[in-house]
Structure 1
Amino acid sequence: MLLKIPRMFDPWGGYSIIGFGDIILPGLLVTFALRYDWLANKRLKSGYFLGTMSAYGLGLLITYIALNLMDGHGQPALLYIVPFILGTLFVLGHKRGDLKTLWTTGEPERPCPHVRLQPQSSS
């Protein structure tokens, strides 16, 4: 399955194509960032979702630029997208002090605020 994107300024009306793997695989990392933000009760600007989504868009833009610079020869989109997303997540995690938690457990230290923990009754 592919998505066809019309090329701008192409006199022959050609298309650029992007595979679903180029959307789904980075999308898993973006949804991981959204899940972590939700569990850590972070706001949009202080979380990781907005940064990873912006990095995904920038990676797609760089892929499109590389495609035009290479005269329309196919470019592996994951080659550009994944380093942008991973780099953004790594830098933001290191800057905010969450990198070890993101890398090892993937969940914040505190429990989700929506979960009510019941005390255990010892009988």
Structure 2
Amino acid sequence: MRVPRAAISGEEEIREICEAFKGIGEDLVWYRSEMPCYAQIASDNFPMGHVNAMIYGPIGLVLSEKLRVGVSLLAPFVRHSDHHHRAKEMYLVVSEGEFRQGEGEWVSPGNRGTLYNPSHIVHAMR
């Protein structure tokens, strides 16, 4: 019997999300970001220490021009480049990590935390 959504704790929900990713992981098209203009800010291990995949979007499992839903994975001790783009972003964080917007302090939303990046804001993660 399936437990009703309202009865599932945050940790169980994250576990379900991770299990769902396992089910589609082999079907995702994984790629690395290439941001040469920001490369001096990223850690040296950034090129081989990160991957992204799109679930909904122009190259996702579900094609969409209106919505993008994806996943980013960073290896330990990898710093993503400072960058910005038109798209707004919302993260559901499922492991420890830190995020920064503009010249602000690095913050850690914690496991199961969320983070929002408005359009065009300079941001990074590590």
**TM-score when normalising by structure 2:** 0.26
Question: Based on CA coordinates, which of the two structures has the bigger radius of gyration?
Answer: 1
**Greater helix content:** 1
**Greater strand content:** 2
